[in-house]
Structure 1
Amino acid sequence: MKRLVINLDRSPDRLAHTTAEFSRIGLGFERVAAIDARDHPELMLQRQHPLYAVRRLSGSEIACLHSHRACWTIIAQDDAPYGAVFEDDMVFSAKAGALLADTSWIPADADVVKLETFFHTTVIQRERFSVGGGFSLFRLRKNHIGTGGYLLSRQMARALLEATADVNVAVDSLIFDPAFATSGGKTIYQLVPALCAQEQFVGNRLPSLVEPGREAEWVASGLAGGHRMPALARIRREARRAARQITDLCRLRRQIVVPLAPVEAND
């Protein structure tokens, strides 16, 4: 299985971080040159998904999508049934090497396995599949943002390439948000505890390169800050939230903030 790492040519510090992380877990990787929004303004002219009619995607978000597309192309053309994609700011669990060196633990029906945590609340199926080493897989039932680390089947890579052939979309929404057909009809697992997380959550030395552009688009759209939600709207929102929680309970689902497996080895 290929382990692909997206890295901008102008970010040698992040490449050095990634090299050290993979060395620490005893594995190699293949660098994939990231698409730089500064060099490809034409990508902004490509149509955007209707969900982004109000808050347009930033140049960095669009470049991020096309960087992941470069990885999907490699996986789609490879002989291996799965490939792993990482962004260059990930911190790995001490036990990551064993799982990333093997694919026998991946369920045969898996289209995607999310390896990272963004430390946001999400929803998983209660049914648990142990994969050894203290890790388990659960079906992911709600959007869990972030595409810093995931496994992708060859068939899923081809489907994602087709879905983004002429439209721009936030890459994490495309893969993990059930509102998109590319996610809603697929079998997506969450690894618990997570195998990796962005360094900004662990050491705060490598800030997100996408977030500033995203925030700027929120401000430009007039959605940043915003106004206080009317009382009736807040009541309706809470009622919908309670209804979703009851539905999840009936469907044997549970909310979770996915933890990160220990980064340091425990002797």
Structure 2
Amino acid sequence: MTVARAPAVPHHRGQARQEARVGQDIAIYVINLDRRPDRLAFMAGQLDALGLAWRQVAAVDAQTVADAELAPEVALAGHRVRMGRGSQCCAVTNFRIFRELARGDALAALILQDDVQLSPELVPFLRNDGWLPEGIGLIQLEKYGRKTSTRLAGPPLGESPVPGRQVRRLYSRTGGAGAFIVTRTAARTIIARKGVLDVPIDHFLFSPNAGWVFGAVGVAIVTPALAVQRQEAFASDIAAERSSDPKPLPARLRRLWMEVNRAPMQAAAWIGGARPVPFGFEDRTG
């Protein structure tokens, strides 16, 4: 049987869009399975309406990829936090984008999954990169999961491109990898040090206890969030993996230990001025 393999570098279908527009410092990569043109059309409709340049990246496909394609990047078994096939493919696709960013001239890039709803107020954050905070390599733009929750975050960092939306250093875990900005410096650090991944990509990037990334590159959020997954409109293969298979006891115990272990760091952050802040998605178009 012939196995369709993902390309060694991201495959871009939106190159003409990228070349046709100017005045945008932060590049946009849209991760999309070739067999899901409906999702690509959903993202194209939003991004084109906002006048943003973007490129499609062909996602590594869980239905066709061979173990040999994944094994150099992600563990196929023995995960600290469970990774289904879709989660493994998601991580590999992200790493390919990181490598391209690390080799290029752009200071930062926005990585989008193909099922996120975007606020129009995203645009000023991408037109100019002068607002990017010093010492921050990852900026979470997505609110994942419950509609509203809280995050432990520091004071606002500098002047936000949009009044009423703040950029704050994060001191607690946040889920989701559907919409985030990564700087070139952070991409280089992550690719150089990542090894073989054994947790989902959002844990790896946005959890202070899942690994070294959170402390090494600096993580922030934009609050209110600028993106949210449209789970009611598009069935997510990764979300289905997470919900269909109950966590075994060892995995639950590891998660509990991770929660307990981050308490000292959060206490230190609190002393330094961090506080729980509300975190939810706001479109703010009305």
Q: TM-score, normalised by structure 2?
A: 0.76
Shift, 1:166, TM fit: 3.1
Amino acid across the alignment from 2:116: M
> Equivalents in 1 of 2:158, 2:170: separation in Å?
13
Of 125, 149, 164, which residue of structure 1 is paired with 2:154?
A: 125
Is the 8 Å Cα contact of residues 7 and 31 (structure 1) preserved in structure 2?
A: yes
Is the 8 Å Cα contact of residues 44 and 59 (structure 1) preserved in structure 2?
A: no
Is 2:65 the partner of 1:40?
A: yes
Amino acid across the alignment from 2:172: K
Q: Which range moves more in the overlay, 242-251 or 73-82?
A: 242-251
* Distance of aligned partners of 1:17 and 1:45 in 2 relative to their CA distance in 1, 3 Å threshold: same
Structure 2 spans left out of the alignment, 5+ residues: 1-25
Aligned to 2:168: 138
Shift, 1:158, TM fit: 1.7
Shift, 1:190, TM fit: 0.9
Of 215, 218, 235, which residue of structure 2 is paired with 1:207?
A: 235
* Distance of aligned partners of 1:59 and 1:128 in 2 relative to their CA distance in 1, 3 Å threshold: same
Q: Which range moves more in the overlay, 152-161 or 112-121?
A: 112-121
Q: CA RMSD in A?
A: 3.1
Aligned to 1:230: none
> Equivalents in 1 of 2:269, 2:142: separation in Å?
23
Is the 8 Å Cα contact of residues 49 and 169 (structure 1) preserved in structure 2?
A: no
> Equivalents in 1 of 2:197, 2:245: separation in Å?
18
Is the 8 Å Cα contact of residues 139 and 187 (structure 1) preserved in structure 2?
A: yes
Aligned to 2:93: 67
* Distance of aligned partners of 1:76 and 1:222 in 2 relative to their CA distance in 1, 3 Å threshold: same
Q: TM-score, normalised by structure 1?
A: 0.81
Of 21, 28, 36, which residue of structure 2 is paired with 1:11?
A: 36
> Equivalents in 1 of 2:266, 2:108: separation in Å?
34
Alignment of 1:206-225 (within 5 A): 206-218=234-246, 221=248
> Equivalents in 2 of 1:116, 1:239: separation in Å?
25
Corresponding pairs, count: 251
Aligned to 1:21: 46
> Equivalents in 2 of 1:242, 1:166: separation in Å?
27
SS in 2 for 1:72: helix
Is 2:283 the partner of 1:255?
A: no
Shift, 1:261, TM fit: 2.9
Aligned to 2:179: 149
Shift, 1:97, TM fit: 1.5
Structure 1 spans left out of the alignment, 5+ residues: 227-233
Shift, 1:50, TM fit: 9.8
SS in 1 for 2:160: strand
> Equivalents in 2 of 1:33, 1:161: separation in Å?
20
Shift, 1:45, TM fit: 5.1
